[in-house]
Amino acid sequence: MTKPRTLEPEQWELWNSWMQAQRLLARELDRDLQRDYGISKAEFSVLVTLQRAAEGQMRVGELAESLGWEKSRVAHQLTRMENRELVDRIANRSGRRIGIRLTAKGRTAVENAILGHGDNIRRYFFETLTPEQAAAIHAWSRQVVDSIEARCGEGPAAP
Amino acid sequence: MTKPRTLEPEQWELWNSWMQAQRLLARELDRDLQRDYGISKAEFSVLVTLQRAAEGQMRVGELAESLGWEKSRVAHQLTRMENRELVDRIANRSGRRIGIRLTAKGRTAVENAILGHGDNIRRYFFETLTPEQAAAIHAWSRQVVDSIEARCGEGPAAP
DNA sequence: ACGCGTTAGTTGTCGCGTCAACTTCGGGCC
DNA sequence: GGCCCGAAGTTGACGCGACAACTAACGCGT
């Protein structure tokens, strides 16, 4: 009566369904956002964060912190978005890049998208969940995020 | 007293936590798999599916069907895996590519990885869930997958 | 003031995933 | 037989995301 050494078939099935559901859901939301408002999910996240900031501008580091993204990911995303003129890089007199700012185009895009995207998230996600399921997912998500971030954050702490 | 036109802040918070949790969890599993067995999550999925097939070979279309992936995604994945010598392309006499086969290297890799990866999934995922939460997630996932696949499948049906 | 480590930000490279376009094989229809 | 259509498979382009290496400015201590 040894403990089974790997997952039960039904656990694999759950795991695969879950991964698949995530992917299909994200794809669906992304497609709708792209089709209706011409922006991607990643762009939406950046734009909505910038929009909440004073004057639509932030430091890149703040943005990364606020999104929970790595800074290199943010830099790449900003490069793409700058090419599409959704954001502007702010430089000081010496040319040093110092932060990022929403353009008029970016502001318009996010203002248009936010209601529709919220509705899509409601339709595709919240309306398929009971309030208890939603609460359970919320609790679980926070726990996962906290535990992973704790494990990553502990490394450079030892003097 | 109009219905709120967009999500409540707490719903946005839930949504963002959930997306973040998914991403961090997937990254963690991927890192472990890469570090311990030298393969990625996507490679693992392909290898384990091939391994279950007779003689470790399948048609590309079967593989795509069985994984629930689009065929172009499978083709790209197979190209990368062929370069790494985890799989072989099977051709008929006229050179037409007709299917795919596990190499010895690929078989070894998946046999080594399967126990460890299963354990990681258990540790990072199943052990953070109560059985009821797991059941709820399973039911929800299947529902999402079915509803999205149903909507996609309906298009080409009209004559 | 000088140097030097730290931090902010960027860049390159690579794998994953999608979409659209293309090639080629095979089967039916005349 | 010859033609055409649909299915199987591949390719290219592009955006997303991770990691590592790099550069430049800042600040601090002496």
Chain A residues whose C-beta is within 8 A of a chain B C-beta are 5-7, 11-15, 17-22, 24-26, 28, 68, 114-115, 118-119, 121-122, 124-126, 128-129, 133-134, 136-138, 140-145, 148-149
What local confidence, expressed as pLDDT, does residue A91 receive? 82
Is there a contact between A18 and B128 if contact means CB atoms under 8 Å apart?
no
A83 exposed, middle or buried (CB, 10 Å; 0-12, 13-18, 19+)?
exposed
pLDDT at residue B103 tops 60: yes
pTM over 0.75: yes
**CA distance to A29, A30, A85, A113, per residue, from A121 (Å):** 7, 11, 26, 12
Q: Which of B24, B26, B125 sits opposite A145 (nearest CB)?
A: B24
Determine the Cα–Cα distance for residues A94 and A79; give it in Å rounded to an integer: 20
Nucleotide nearest to B30 (CA to C1'): D18
What is the rounded distance in angstroms from the CA atom of residue B42 to the CA atom of residue B137?
A: 22
CB proximity list for B56: less than 8 A, separation 6 or greater: B50, B101, B102, B106, B107
Confidence band (pLDDT; 50, 70, 90) for A136?
A: confident
| Per-chain mean pLDDT for chain B | 90
Task: With beta carbons less than 8 A apart as the criterion, state whether B25 and B124 touch.
Answer: yes
Residues of A in contact with B20 (CB under 8 A): 68, 141, 145
Interface of B with A (CB under 8 A): 5-7, 11-15, 17-22, 24-26, 28, 68, 114-115, 118-119, 121-122, 124-126, 128-129, 133-134, 136-138, 140-145, 148-149
Residue B17: which of A15, A129, A142 has the nearest Cβ? A142
pLDDT of residue B133: 85
Strand C and A21 CB separated by under 7 Å:
no
A38 pLDDT higher than 70: yes
pLDDT at residue B82 is higher than 50: yes
**pLDDT for A158:** 39
Q: Residue A97 CB closer than 7 angstroms to strand C?
A: yes
| Residue B129 structure tokens | 């869930």
Per the CB < 8 A criterion, the answer to whether B87 and B76 are in contact is no
How many other CB atoms are found less than 10 A from the CB of residue A70?
10
B14:A136 CB<8 A: no
Q: What is the DSSP letter of A53?
A: S
- Whether pLDDT at B159 is above 60: no
CA nearest neighbour of B98 among B78, B114, B84, B115: B78
For residue A55, give every residue at least 6 positions away whose Cβ sits within 8 Å of its Cβ, in sequence order, or none: A101
Nearest to A114 by CA among A58, A57, A39: A39
**For residue B93, pLDDT beyond 70:** no
Mutate to test the interface with A, among B8, B140, B142 (most CBs of A within 10 A): B140
Closest CA to A85 of A114, A111, A105: A105
Q: Which residues pair with B91 in a beta bridge?
A: B97
Instruction: Report the percent of chain A where pLDDT is more than 70.
Output: 90
Burial class (CB in 10 A: 0-12, 13-18, 19+), B62: middle
Residue-wise pLDDT for A49-71, tens only, equals 999 998 889 999 999 999 999 99
Could you check: is the Cβ of residue A75 within 7 Å of any atom of nucleic acid strand C?
A: yes
User: What is the rounded radius of gyration, in angstroms, for the C-alpha atoms of chain A?
Assistant: 20
Read off the pLDDT of residues A62-99 as tens digits, 9 standing for 90 and up: 999 999 999 999 999 999 999 999 999 998 766 677 88
Which helix or strand (DSSP H or E) is residue B54 part of? none
Q: Which nucleotide comes closest to B77 if you measure CA to C1'? A: C16
Q: Are B56 and B90 in contact (CB under 8 A)?
A: no
Find the mean pLDDT for residues A148-152: 82
| Closest among A141, A156, A133 to B133, alpha carbons compared | A133
Q: What is the pLDDT of residue B157?
A: 40
